């Protein structure tokens, strides 16, 4: 594998920093790329894919979350057949977090085309929980960071709930919003969680995140060249589900679950935050069937009593099935805790709610 190690200005040479191009005046240009391996090679052993996604990076987005304007970065998803990925959202400028979902079917060969040109800052796409070869894993430490274009080739080998995210200065880029849901349906298609597995009638996908505004005006390479950018100090004051703040999560159809008595409801929960989350499900929803975790079926479905709480840690995914027998509007409360508290002494720092409306 050819690897190009650059330091200092790197490809694209020159200082694109300075901010001032919108997005809350945040500086997102190249100021250094210590330790990165910047490259944009051809995809080895490239074959014709079954499905393709065209992602382009943006670094000057802005999103109002619960009344607060938050600078965000992410991936826009576009069409296009030239591999450039039109961006769909204005190439490099605006966009929303989280990034658009990818959905494929087990057995498919997938091409994820990345166009990382915005602000001349390198990024990658890591399909978390997927196991491609090193070249296509999107982990720069083991392969390369993309400035330009690269096509990730991977196979969807196991149905389940995953997510994708950038793996450059990961803790910062993921915090900024460079992630999206990745769902692999079984060969039968949507309606089953995995091959020959449990069925569902209604599906909800929640990516639950926490935001520390102090991180959101950092440059893309904060602390990559050393120094202390405060990335060991995370104090979120905003919380969101699918990018929506608490002013919307109990009413917006992108989050609220609407189902009828007797239907089987699948909740795909993606823990997209950094501090522990405890999810409190109301007893009225009935027993909770845990059918899969982290993109893998459990050996046997585990049933938790009605009213159970589940403690989530970063990057976990849970597939939960409910069969509510009672009509009504039931709140689901997610509490957030300081990550520094000693085990067993969780200190609550915030909360967000959504609802299951059962008719």
The contact set with Cu ion (CB under 5 A) reads: 123, 166, 168, 173, 178
Q: Name the minimum Å distance from CB 151 to Cu ion.
A: 17
Min dist CB 197 to Cu ion, Å, is 34
Nearer to Cu ion, 23 or 49 (CB): 23
Residues paired with 155 in a beta bridge: 109
Q: Which is nearer to Cu ion, 169 or 249 (CB)?
A: 169
Q: How far is the CB of 166 from Cu ion (least distance, A)?
A: 3
Residue nearest to Cu ion (CB): 166
Q: How far is the CB of 86 from Cu ion (least distance, A)?
A: 20
User: Which of 119/310 has CB closer to Cu ion?
Assistant: 119
Minimum CB separation from Cu ion for residue 175, in Å?
A: 11
CA torsion angle 41 42 46 48 (round to 10):
120
Dihedral sign for Cα 130, 133, 139, 144, please.
negative
Place of tokens 């938790």: 304
Residue 285 CB burial class (10 angstroms; 0-12, 13-18, ≥19): buried
Residue nearer to Cu ion on the CB measure, 170 or 195: 170
Asked if 279 and 312 touch (Cβ cutoff 8 Å), the reply is yes
Residue 355 three-state SS: strand
- For Cu ion, the closer CB: 109 or 171: 171
- Contact at 8 Å (CB) between 36 and 10? yes
For residue 196 the two structure tokens come to 């020959």
- Residue 105 or 123: which CB sits closer to Cu ion? 123
Measured from the CB atom, the residue of 77 and 266 that comes closer to Cu ion is 77
CA distance 306 to 287: 4
Token digits for 63? 């999103």
Least CB distance from residue 68 to Cu ion, whole Å? Answer: 22
User: Please, what's the b/e burial string for 87-108 (b: 16 or more CB within 10 A of its CB; e: otherwise)?
Assistant: bbbebbbbbbbbbbbbebbbeb
d(CA 316, CA 226): 29
Residue reference for tokens 């991977």: 154
Contact yes or no for 50/153 (Cβ under 8 A): no
Minimum CB–partner distance for residue 24 and Cu ion (Å) = 18
- Closer Cβ to Cu ion, 106 or 124, answer by number: 124
Least distance in angstroms from the C-beta of 241 to Cu ion: 22
Tokens found for residue 59: 């670094």
């Amino acid at each position: 594998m050819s690897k190009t190690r650059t330091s200092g200005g790197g490809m694209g040479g020159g200082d694109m920093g300075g901010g001032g191009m919108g997005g809350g005046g945040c500086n997102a240009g190249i100021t250094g790329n210590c330790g990165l391996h910047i490259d944009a090679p051809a995809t080895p052993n490239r074959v014709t894919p079954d499905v393709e996604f065209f992602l382009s990076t943006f670094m000057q987005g802005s999103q109002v979350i619960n009344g607060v304007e938050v600078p965000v970065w992410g991936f826009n998803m576009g069409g296009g057949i030239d591999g450039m990925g039109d961006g769909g959202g204005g190439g490099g400028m605006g966009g929303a977090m989280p990034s658009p979902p990818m959905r494929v079917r087990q057995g498919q060969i997938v091409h994820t085309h990345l166009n990382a040109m915005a602000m001349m800052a390198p990024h990658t796409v890591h399909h978390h929980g997927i196991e491609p070869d090193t070249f296509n894993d999107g982990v720069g430490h083991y392969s390369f960071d993309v400035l330009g274009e690269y096509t990730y080739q991977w196979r969807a080998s196991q149905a389940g709930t995953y997510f994708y995210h950038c793996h450059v200065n990961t803790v910062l880029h993921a915090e900024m919003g460079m992630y999206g849901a990745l769902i692999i349906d079984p060969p039968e298609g949507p309606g089953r969680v995995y091959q020959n597995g449990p069925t569902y009638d209604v599906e909800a996908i929640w990516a639950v995140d926490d935001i520390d505004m102090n991180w959101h005006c950092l440059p893309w390479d904060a602390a990559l060249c050393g120094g202390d950018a405060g990335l060991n100090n995370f104090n979120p004051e905003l919380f969101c589900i699918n990018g929506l703040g608490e002013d919307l999560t109990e009413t917006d159809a992108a989050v609220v679950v609407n189902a009828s008595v007797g239907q089987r409801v699948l909740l795909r929960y993606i823990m997209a935050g950094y501090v522990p989350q405890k999810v409190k499900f109301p007893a009225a929803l009935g027993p909770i069937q845990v059918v899969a975790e982290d993109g893998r079926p459990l050996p046997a479905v585990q049933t938790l009593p009605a009213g159970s709480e589940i403690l989530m840690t970063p990057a976990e995914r849970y597939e939960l099935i409910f069969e509510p027998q009672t009509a009504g509007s039931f709140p689901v409360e997610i509490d957030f805790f300081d990550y520094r508290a000693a085990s067993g002494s969780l200190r609550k720092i915030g909360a967000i709610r959504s609802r299951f409306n059962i008719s």
